């Protein structure tokens, strides 16, 4: 039997467009001789629909779309993710389900059993946990069907139910044989997740001695990046079929010898994957939100340079406007590097000096500021002048404003509310500074795009004379290590100090993280590439007095 693994890029709530993509790809699978087509979790409504699931109109439109889709699908089996109403009783009224359609009707259903409620996931808010399903039969093959989290039971370690183990135990008790495990997913990307993902799947293959078929969503949805990479493994856990990352794709695996197409290498090059994910994330966020072009400030620094390079790759350089806004503190080489970057990218470049505006602000405030020395106030004024100018360009020309701050800065509050934090999408807000340098090197892998001087110069905000980031912050190579230990690994002050870091420095960094929570709550949405990003996956109070 030929089986198609199909990954599409849905738009949440766009039932007509999602249905068209499903039908087109299933038609292709049928034309290629496939008996079964498998698509991702909640592929019809898109994932995650969040509180749309609480709207009766959304659910009614979903049900109508499902009925139309079933009537339009060709005459092969199609297994895909859908919302299913839960009948009767108290509790949540919906299931997150895998349904198999054959001949215009549902012939099999498996409701998701493990509902994640950690990090960015909140499925217990909407869905009821399903009961153990039966087995899905197609011709002479028998499949165990799982939905996303159902195969992560051992990795997460917080679930009492073990869906895969229980499916095999129940089949053995009935004297039935399972020929393969199917998992439909909407599994978001993060650095190094692919190797963990495949290790989990391979362990299931080796333990149960069955092949494993995995169909994953692709595309950007708000801050989440779905990498696709649908694939199949043989009973020894070896990759036998592999779809592309970051792109819609269809690959075919044949159960006769459990061999399939490989559109991409099984191994993932992590740096390239982060870059490709950010490019896809910008493209999808901008276009799915109804924009076609962007604007951003170009300071001559590495953060804005990387953001501009990603935007140009995502949207085409003709849709990127870079604006330099020099002040009296801006070095000549900063303006020169910003101009050179724009030339290398081929994007439009404009210069708007802010000295006159800054002078006006200072003169206006002088009576109230009399007798007080200059401090962060004057630095922030410059950042807010720039933010206002960029927002004016965004409004006037309908361009989405991209912010350029990195994760290291966001963590410790080295950014200005209503200044450099103004915008619609924070492209690299989950990219630590050291990774920014690595990605800049990746951008320049074939030719110089980001000027070399931009990469090698000491980073500076240029908001006062002779300013350097390292005047206010520890070296980024140290700061990033501490941030990763605290934010991603959850280590305490004592744990980090025990790793050999200066206690006073660690205490100050953790203090900065704590007191700047209010800033991050007001920041634009960012693209998630690490295991713990700022945004709705991080739920810390602004007002709290806990000290580690």
Same CATH topology for 2-263 and 274-462+516-521: the answer is no
Domain extent listing, the chain:
2-263, 274-462+516-521
Other Cβ atoms closer than 10 A to 31: 9
Per-residue pLDDT band at 38 (split at 50, 70, 90): very high
Options 21, 112, 198, 433, the catalytic residue: 112
Which is nearest to 454 in space by CA: 443, 464, 446? 443
Please say if 112 is a catalytic residue: yes
Instruction: State yes or no: 130 annotated in a binding site.
Output: no
Options 21, 34, 41, 415, the catalytic residue: 41
Please say if 198 is a catalytic residue: no
Burial tier of 144 (Cβ tally within 10 Å: 0-12, 13-18, 19+): buried
* 274-462+516-521 maps to CATH 3.30.750.200: no
Instruction: State yes or no: 463 annotated in a binding site.
Output: no
Take residue 478 and report the two structure tokens written for it: 């140290």
Take residue 500 and report the two structure tokens written for it: 């050999």
Confidence (pLDDT) at 519: 96
Q: For the whole model, what pTM was predicted?
A: 0.96
Topology (CATH level 3) of domain 2-263: Nitrilase/N-carbamoyl-D-aminoacid amidohydrolase (3.60.110)
Q: Tell me what percent of the residues of the chain surpass a pLDDT of 90.
A: 93
Q: What is the mean pLDDT of residues 402-408?
A: 98
Confidence (pLDDT) at 161: 86
Q: List, for residues 316-370, the tens digit of each pLDDT value.
A: 999 999 999 999 999 999 999 999 999 999 999 999 999 999 999 999 999 999 9
Position 467 pLDDT exceeds 90? no
Instruction: State yes or no: 404 annotated in a binding site.
Output: yes
Options 21, 34, 123, 148, the catalytic residue: 148
- Taking the C-alpha atoms of residue 129 and residue 92, their distance in angstroms, rounded to an integer, is 9
Instruction: State yes or no: 299 annotated in a binding site.
Output: yes
Instruction: State yes or no: 302 annotated in a binding site.
Output: yes
Position 466 pLDDT exceeds 90? no
Position 418 pLDDT exceeds 90? yes
- Contacts made by residues 161-168, CB under 8 angstroms, sequence distance 24+: 161/113, 161/114, 161/129, 163/113, 163/114, 163/132, 164/204, 164/208, 166/132, 167/132, 167/133, 167/135, 168/144, 168/208
Q: List, for residues 220-249, the tens digit of each pLDDT value.
A: 999 999 999 999 999 999 999 999 999 999
Q: List, for residues 250-305, the tens digit of each pLDDT value.
A: 999 999 999 999 999 999 999 999 999 999 999 999 999 999 999 999 999 999 99
Residue 252's region, left for phi above 0, alpha for psi from -120 to 50, else beta, is beta
HSE (side-chain half, CA atoms, 13 Å) at 437: 12
Confidence (pLDDT) at 460: 85
* 3 state DSSP class of 409: helix
211: CB partners within 8 A, 6+ apart = 179, 180, 181, 205, 232, 233, 234, 235, 240, 255, 258
Q: What is the mean pLDDT of residues 4-22?
A: 98
Please say if 415 is a catalytic residue: no
- Taking the C-alpha atoms of residue 480 and residue 413, their distance in angstroms, rounded to an integer, is 14
- Taking the C-alpha atoms of residue 320 and residue 311, their distance in angstroms, rounded to an integer, is 7
Confidence (pLDDT) at 347: 98
Instruction: State yes or no: 187 annotated in a binding site.
Output: yes
């Amino acid at each position: 039997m030929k089986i198609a693994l199909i990954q599409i890029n849905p738009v949440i709530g766009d039932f007509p467009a999602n249905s068209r993509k499903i039908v087109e790809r299933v038609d292709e699978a049928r034309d290629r001789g496939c008996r079964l087509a498998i698509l991702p979790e909640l592929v019809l409504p898109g994932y995650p629909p969040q509180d749309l699931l609480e709207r009766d109109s959304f659910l009614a439109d979903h049900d109508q779309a499902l009925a139309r889709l079933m009537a339009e699908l060709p005459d092969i089996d199609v297994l895909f993710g859908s919302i299913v109403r839960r009948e009767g009783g108290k509790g949540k009224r919906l299931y997150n389900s895998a349904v198999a359609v054959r001949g215009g009707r549902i012939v099999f259903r498996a409701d998701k059993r493990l509902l994640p409620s950690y990090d960015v996931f909140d499925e217990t808010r909407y869905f009821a946990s399903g009961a153990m399903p039966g087995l899905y039969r197609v011709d002479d093959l028998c499949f165990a069907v799982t939905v996303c989290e159902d195969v992560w039971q051992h990795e997460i370690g917080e679930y009492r139910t073990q869906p895969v183990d229980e499916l095999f135990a129940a089949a053995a008790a009935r004297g039935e044989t399972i020929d393969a495990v199917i998992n439909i997913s909407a599994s978001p990307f993060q650095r190094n997740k692919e190797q963990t993902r495949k290790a989990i799947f391979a362990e299931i293959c080796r333990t149960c001695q069955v092949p494993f078929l995995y169909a994953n969503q692709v595309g950007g949805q708000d801050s989440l990046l779905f990498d696709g990479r649908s694939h199949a493994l043989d009973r020894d856990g070896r990759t036998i079929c592999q779809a592309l990352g970051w792109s819609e794709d269809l690959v075919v695996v044949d159960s006769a010898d459990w061999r399939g197409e490989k559109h991409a290498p099984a191994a993932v090059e992590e740096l390239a994957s982060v870059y490709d994910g950010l490019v896809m994330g910008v493209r999808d966020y901008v276009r799915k939100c109804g924009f076609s072009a962007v604007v951003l400030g170009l300071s001559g620094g590495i953060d804005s340079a990387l953001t501009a390079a990603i935007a140009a790759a995502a949207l085409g350089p003709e849709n990127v406007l870079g604006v330099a806004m020099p002040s009296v503190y801006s070095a000549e080489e900063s303006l020169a590097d910003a101009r050179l970057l724009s030339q290398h990218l081929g994007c439009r470049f404009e210069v708007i000096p802010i000295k006159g505006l800054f002078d006006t602000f200072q003169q206006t405030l002088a009576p109230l500021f009399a007798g007080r020395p200059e401090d962060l106030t004057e630095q922030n004024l410059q950042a807010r002048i720039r933010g206002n100018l960029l927002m004016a360009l965004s409004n006037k020309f309908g361009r989405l404003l991209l912010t350029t701050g990195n994760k290291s800065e966001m963590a410790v509050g080295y950014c200005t509310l209503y200044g450099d934090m103004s915008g619609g999408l924070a492209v690299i807000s989950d990219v630590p500074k050291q990774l920014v340098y690595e990605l800049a090197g990746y951008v320049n892998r074939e030719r110089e795009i980001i000027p070399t001087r931009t990469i090698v110069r000491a980073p500076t905000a240029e908001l006062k004379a002779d300013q350097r980031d390292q005047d206010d912050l520890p070296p980024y190579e140290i700061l990033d290590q501490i941030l990763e230990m605290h934010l991603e690994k959850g280590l305490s002050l004592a744990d980090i100090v025990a790793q050999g870091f200066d206690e006073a420095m660690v205490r100050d960094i953790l203090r900065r993280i704590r007191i700047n929570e209010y800033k991050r709550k007001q920041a634009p949405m960012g693209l998630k590439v690490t295991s713990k990003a700022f945004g709705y996956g991080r739920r810390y109070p602004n007002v709290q007095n806990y000290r580690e």
